Chain A
Amino acid sequence: MTSREAREILKTYRPGIDFHDPAFHEAVAQARRDPDLAAWVRNQDALYQGIRSQLKDVPVPEDLAAKILTSHRPRWSGREMLQLAAAVAILAAVAAFWLQERRHPATFADYRTSMAALVSKKYPMGLETPDLERARKFLANNQSPSDYVLPAALKSAPLLGCATLSWGANPVSLLCFRQKDGSGLWLFVTEHPSLRGLPASVEPEFSQTNGLITAGWRDGGKIYLMASLGGPDRLAPYLRE
């Protein structure tokens, strides 16, 4: 191979990368024998390195990796989130009840306070649906009270969804409605005959709890607790039969 032929071959040679490529072996050997060709190879390599470093010096957007990771971080599905949140809420309610039971027997006031506290913060919805029957089925499928009787006026309020809770060892169904002004309206249904201080009858008993107005009543073995922001006038329209 002549130096001229070697030079043609070495025009695309990258000393640090193509050294083991047999296509260049003979030409590289020729460059070792020809100092001028060797100098030319060095010059070509300097040019290669210059272009390489210019291309590699292009600044990379600082937030690119974060963007990629954020948009593709494995996420909980909406359903999984709801289930997890519901489980956490149930555990929290169980823990709260257990701690209270150790101190003194549970009362309806305790239950009311716990439930009011629950909806005063962000809470998980087990099923988001405007369909009362779907909600009832969901609650039944989750061993939560489902044979409740809603006040007739309440049925006209838009349903947002429902959740299954537990207070002590007792399941509690939560139905979430939206009032005309957009605020929430909650109805808890449970069966807890051993609670002390239960409402005496179907007549609602009002109480201010945790900034909410609540109305509690008993009907057919079920204990109902309705809650809303504001005063008793906020609940009254929904309590009519």
Chain B
Amino acid sequence: MSPSVDFECLVRSHYRDLYHFAFSLVRNPSEASDLVQETFHIWAKKGTQLREQRSAKSWLFTTLHRLFLQACRHQTRFPEIELTEAQGELPDASVDPAAKLDSEAVLKALEELDPGHRAPLALYYLEDYSYREIAGILEVPLGTVQSRISRGKARLLEKLTGSPGANVSEGGAK
């Protein structure tokens, strides 16, 4: 298979997933498109030695995330917001919370998280990666990813349901 076919195949296979990841990070269509294009641009320059599709996809996510972090470092509009260590319990959704969700609300809630929590949470929701794979993509220890997802999810649900530490109305496990 020629490199050009590889590249086209790679783009068509992954650009949507990458865009969704990028959009969940920046919540801006043009910035997300730029991140995806820049990611593939870097691939075109030096990523062709990766022949395995799954490795390639992880590589693309890692590269896009690095670009995102670089952009964050250059933009003061992404202040680091430390989540408190004492998150307490994750908020529990009440009756059929999924039905009340809308894309805008989810993205807005995600955007309000600091970048360090946004990226693992986006991969957690968007992709079928294991925690270990997410850690590899984001280049952080497994424990860090686990805690960021846990805290990030707590904060996200809190924003979506507006109920920190709420109990499950239909009788959750006690």
Contacts and interface: CB of A to CB of B under 8 A. Distances in A.
Contacts of A3: 173-174
Contacts of B20: 55-56, 58, 60
A149 interface: no
Interface in A54-73: 54-58, 60-61, 64-65, 67-69, 71-73
Interface in B43-63: 44
Contact of A64 (B36, B97, B106, B170): B36
Question: Dominant SS at the B interface?
Answer: helix
B64 interface: no
Interface in A97-141: none
Q: How large is the interface on A (under 10, 10 to 19, 20 to 34, 35 or more residues)?
A: 35 or more
A12 B146 contact: yes
Contacts, number: 127
B113 to A, nearest CB: 13
Contact of B103 (A34, A39, A57, A68): A57
A233 interface: no
Contact of B19 (A4, A61, A71): A61
A65 B174 CA distance: 49
Contacts of B150: 11-12
A28 interface: no
Contact of A7 (B96, B125, B129, B173): B173
B77 to A, nearest CB: 21
A61 B33 contact: yes
Nearest to B4: A74
A195 interface: no
Question: Dominant SS at the A interface?
Answer: helix
Interface in A12-71: 12, 14, 16-18, 21, 23, 34, 36-37, 39-40, 43-44, 46-52, 54-58, 60-61, 64-65, 67-69, 71
B128 to A, nearest CB: 5
A60 B20 CA distance: 8
Contacts of B129: 17
Contacts of B74: none
Contact of A68 (B4, B15, B171): B15
Nearest to B171: A36
B4 A55 contact: no
A15 to B, nearest CB: 12
A198 interface: no
Given A17-B130, A55-B126, A68 B101 contact: no
Given A40-B92, A68-B11, 10 more contacts: A11-B150, A39-B170, A51-B156, A54-B106, A55-B20, A55-B24, A55-B122, A55-B125, A65-B11, A72-B7
25 contacts: A4-B173, A8-B89, A11-B90, A12-B146, A14-B124, A16-B128, A17-B130, A37-B172, A44-B92, A51-B98, A51-B101, A51-B125, A52-B125, A54-B107, A55-B24, A55-B106, A56-B20, A57-B103, A60-B16, A64-B37, A67-B37, A68-B40, A69-B8, A71-B37, A74-B3
Interface of A: 3-4, 6-8, 11-12, 14, 16-18, 21, 23, 34, 36-37, 39-40, 43-44, 46-52, 54-58, 60-61, 64-65, 67-69, 71-74
